[in-house]
């Protein structure tokens, strides 16, 4: 017998379904399993990196080598206003809605079929924010019924994905001391995992895990030895030992910012983060390895304890950081399959590590003419060349400036924030690298809250008649299979697909599709401003779409020296472009 209560419940469920369909938001929200399956599913993009392993690989093949030349714009959405600058965000997609962040800590929800705005959120940024490298934002994450992102005044914000209304807002650090936040958060189980930015101001890096529903802190892990973490609101364990590899009180303002975000491998249940440069840049003030800066660290998601660490540039004196993404993948070692991870470091070397324990498997240069190190030893430690470490200013004839060196690569790195991608078809990594060097010298400096804490001067210079080089790298041999050069630096990321394509944008404004086996350019489109963001792709209504954020800016025009002069003609912008195949062609 059907009662009134049963009818009432059925009608309520129907109403919720209709609401969900009309708004583009599923009633049940994004689940943990959805996050884990993000790379496998083609009808949504929930995370920056297109999955917790951030391989930036899509199994979609409807756009492929044979038809990509026919790709055309479906629509373009302008970010509008005068808030241009660098646009480094990878967008998200779910149930007919695009979510994309922009400069000055903004976010939009856009109808993916029409390009019409559904809502916009603008963070109210205070006076006196201290972003290092432009007012960028690198993306968001969807979970439950919310979308999460960080702001330049070091806040973490949870918005209702349907309305854009603030659900909660939490502080990551004091922006007046130099803290900021630009990375896309990471979802691990029911937790929201984030880092912090601000290493150039002497802040101390850390990784935080919060309850995604409430924003309450679960654990926190500092990245510099001597600092104590927290667990469930109480002090937990110290990172390393006080003064084990830091002199005096230098560790108190030690840098190690976790400014690029992390990855997660559910197979081994570890979170991976890169850590930034030690502070200050002047390495003569802090002799030692300065753990755990310029490193990759693996953390236990249950308590935030460091399981292993691997320093790519111990005692970093060039601002090489170690923050570049760590991508889990499986490889063959002595005939056996090994759970590995790969990272292309700013210092110019490509590393393959055992992702279960951090042991060094192999490493090799991926850019040319490296000067600061002669190579890597059997444990992956750099073999420093003392001739190319900038001099101690206290022993210089000029007390305000130590001896200058020409170091390769420059501090902007063989690869910077722009993420590489891994192809399940070719088993290659596609690395957006740059060829440049720098004149570098040390200067005296003292720590002052909220002031730049560098102790160095620099000028960037190009090495060749090009700077950017997209390389297809075999992680088992170190061989570069092909190279696609670009006059301006590559400052956006890479997407690779089962269609045999590698998508990448250029500062000159082109989104390009490249053959993953040969490096041949198959298609390009001019978006009107430089692309410094990674592309993404999804399936909707049975069709494959490709999207990318366009808007020139970031660190190159601010810090690029002679390289910045090469690209000073480029125009700023702010828009999101979507491409598809014409239906008739797509059906062939």
Tell me which of 6-15, 322-331, 429-438 is least confident: 6-15
How many Cα atoms are found within 13 Å in the side-chain-facing hemisphere of 505?
31
State the DSSP H helix or E strand holding residue 416, giving kind and residue range, or none if neither: none
CA–CA dist 183, 166 (Å, integer): 19
CA–CA dist 532, 419 (Å, integer): 11
Average pLDDT over residues 231-243: 97
pLDDT digit string (tens) for 209-220? 999 999 999 999
Annotated active-site residue in 319, 321, 345, 516: 319
Whether the per-residue pLDDT at 5 is higher than 70: the answer is no
| Strands (E) located in 463-565 | 468-473, 480-486, 494-497, 501-505, 510-515, 521-526, 536-540, 543-550
On average, the pLDDT of the chain sits at 94
pLDDT digit string (tens) for 463-475? 999 999 999 999 9
Q: What pLDDT does residue 399 have?
A: 79
In a domain? residue 14: no
Whether 354 is catalytic is no
Tell me which of 81-85, 95-99, 131-135 is least confident: 81-85
In a domain? residue 32: no
CA–CA dist 79, 83 (Å, integer): 8
Tell me which of 17-26, 197-206, 552-561 is least confident: 17-26
Beta bridge partners of 429: 422, 473
Q: Residue 579: which CATH number?
A: 2.140.10.10
Whether the per-residue pLDDT at 559 is higher than 70: the answer is yes
Confidence at 587, pLDDT banded by 50, 70, 90: low
CB atoms within 10 A of CB 238: 13
Q: What pLDDT does residue 396 have?
A: 86
In a domain? residue 516: yes
Q: Are 133 and 417 in contact (CB under 8 A)?
A: no
Q: How far, CA to CA in Å, does 269 sit from each of 12, 388, 417, 491, 565?
A: 39, 40, 25, 31, 45
Reduce the secondary structure of 14-32 to three states and give it as a string.
HHHHHHHHHHCCCCCCECH
pLDDT digit string (tens) for 242-285? 999 999 999 999 999 999 999 999 999 999 999 999 999 999 99
Domain tally for the chain? 1
Whether the per-residue pLDDT at 88 is higher than 70: the answer is yes
Q: Are 43 and 539 in contact (CB under 8 A)?
A: yes
Rounded to a whole number of angstroms, the CA Rg of the chain reads 23
pLDDT digit string (tens) for 378-389? 999 999 999 999
SS3 label, residue 289 = coil
Q: In the structure encoding, which two tokens stand for residue 526, read together?
A: 């001019």
Average pLDDT over residues 397-409: 91
* CA proximity to 157, closest of 99, 113, 112: 99
Domain of residue 402, residue span? 51-587
DSSP H helices in 244-345 = none
CA–CA dist 55, 329 (Å, integer): 8
* CA proximity to 580, closest of 532, 549, 538: 538
Whether the per-residue pLDDT at 419 is higher than 80: the answer is yes
Confidence at 480, pLDDT banded by 50, 70, 90: very high
Tell me which of 82-86, 228-232, 562-566 is least confident: 82-86
* CA proximity to 142, closest of 31, 22, 58: 31
CA angle 486, 139, 46 (to 5 degrees): 110
| Strands (E) located in 67-113 | 72-78, 92-94, 97-102, 106-111
Block residue for tokens 């369909």: 21
In a domain? residue 572: yes
- Sheet of strand 306-311, all strands in order from the earlier edge strand to the far edge: 262-265, 270-274, 295-299, 306-311
In a domain? residue 446: yes
Q: What pLDDT does residue 564 have?
A: 87
Q: In the structure encoding, which two tokens stand for residue 445, read together?
A: 């400096």
pTM (predicted TM-score) = 0.94
In a domain? residue 2: no
In a domain? residue 43: no
In a domain? residue 515: yes
* CA proximity to 394, closest of 439, 446, 444, 457: 444
């Amino acid at each position: 017998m059907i009662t009134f209560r049963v009818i009432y419940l059925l009608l309520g469920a129907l109403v919720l379904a209709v609401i969900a369909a009309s708004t583009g938001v599923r009633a049940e929200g994004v689940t943990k399993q959805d996050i884990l399956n993000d790379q496998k599913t083609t009808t949504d993009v929930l995370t920056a990196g297109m999955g917790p392993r951030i391989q930036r690989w899509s199994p979609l093949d409807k756009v492929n080598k044979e038809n990509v030349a026919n790709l055309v714009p479906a629509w373009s959405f302008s970010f509008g206003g005068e808030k241009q600058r660098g646009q480094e965000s990878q967008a998200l997609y779910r149930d007919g809605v695009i979510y994309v962040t922009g400069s000055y800590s903004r976010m939009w929800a856009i109808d993916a079929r029409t390009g019409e705005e559904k809502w916009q959120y603008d963070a109210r940024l205070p006076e006196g924010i201290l972003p290092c490298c432009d007012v960028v934002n690198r993306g968001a994450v969807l979970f439950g019924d919310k979308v999460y992102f960080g702001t330049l005044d070091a806040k973490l914000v949870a918005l209702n994905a349907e309305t854009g209304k603030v659900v909660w807002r939490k502080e990551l650090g004091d922006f007046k001391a130099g803290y900021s936040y630009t990375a896309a958060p990471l979802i691990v189980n029911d937790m929201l995992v984030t880092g912090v930015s601000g290493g150039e101001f002497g802040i101390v890096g850390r990784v935080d895990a919060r309850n995604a529903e409430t924003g309450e802190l679960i654990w926190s892990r500092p990245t510099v030895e001597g600092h104590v973490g927290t667990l469930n609101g109480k002090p937990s364990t110290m990172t390393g030992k006080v003064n084990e590899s830091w002199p005096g009180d230098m560790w108190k303002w030690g840098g190690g910012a976790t400014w690029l975000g992390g990855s997660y491998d559910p197979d081994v249940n570890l979170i991976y983060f890169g850590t930034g440069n030690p502070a200050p840049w002047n390495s003569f003030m802090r002799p030692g390895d300065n753990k755990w800066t310029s490193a990759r660290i693996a953390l236990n998601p249950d308590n935030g304890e460091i399981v292993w660490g691997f320093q790519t540039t111990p005692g970093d004196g060039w601002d090489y950081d170690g923050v570049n993404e760590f991508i889990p993948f499986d490889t063959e070692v002595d005939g056996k399959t090994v759970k590995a991870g790969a990272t292309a470091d700013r210092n110019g070397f490509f590393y393959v590590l055992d992702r279960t324990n951090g042991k060094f498997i192999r490493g090799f240069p991926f850019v040319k003419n490296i000067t600061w190190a002669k190579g890597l030893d059997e444990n992956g430690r750099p073999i420093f060349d003392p001739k190319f470490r900038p001099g101690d200013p206290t022993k210089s004839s000029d007390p305000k400036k130590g001896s200058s060196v020409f170091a390769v690569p420059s501090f902007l790195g063989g690869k910077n924030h722009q993420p590489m991608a891994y192809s399940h078809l070719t088993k290659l990594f596609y690395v957006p690298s740059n060829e440049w060097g720098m004149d570098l010298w040390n200067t005296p400096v003292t720590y002052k809250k909220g002031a730049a804490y560098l102790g160095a001067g620099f000028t960037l210079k190009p090495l060749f008649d090009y700077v950017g080089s997209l390389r297809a790298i075999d992680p088992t041999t170190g061989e570069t299979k092909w190279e696609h050069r670009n006059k301006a630096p590559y400052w956006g990321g890479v997407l690779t697909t089962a269609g045999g394509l590698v998508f990448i944008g250029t500062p000159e404004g082109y989104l390009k599709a490249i053959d993953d086996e040969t490096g041949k350019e198959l298609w390009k489109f001019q978006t009107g401003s430089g692309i410094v963001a990674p592309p993404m792709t999804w399936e909707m209504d049975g069709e494959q779409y490709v999207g990318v954020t366009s808007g020139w800016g970031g660190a190159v025009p601010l810090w690029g020296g002679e390289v910045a002069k090469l690209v000073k003609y480029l125009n700023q912008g702010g828009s999101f472009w979507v491409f598809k195949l014409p239906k008739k062609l797509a059906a062939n």
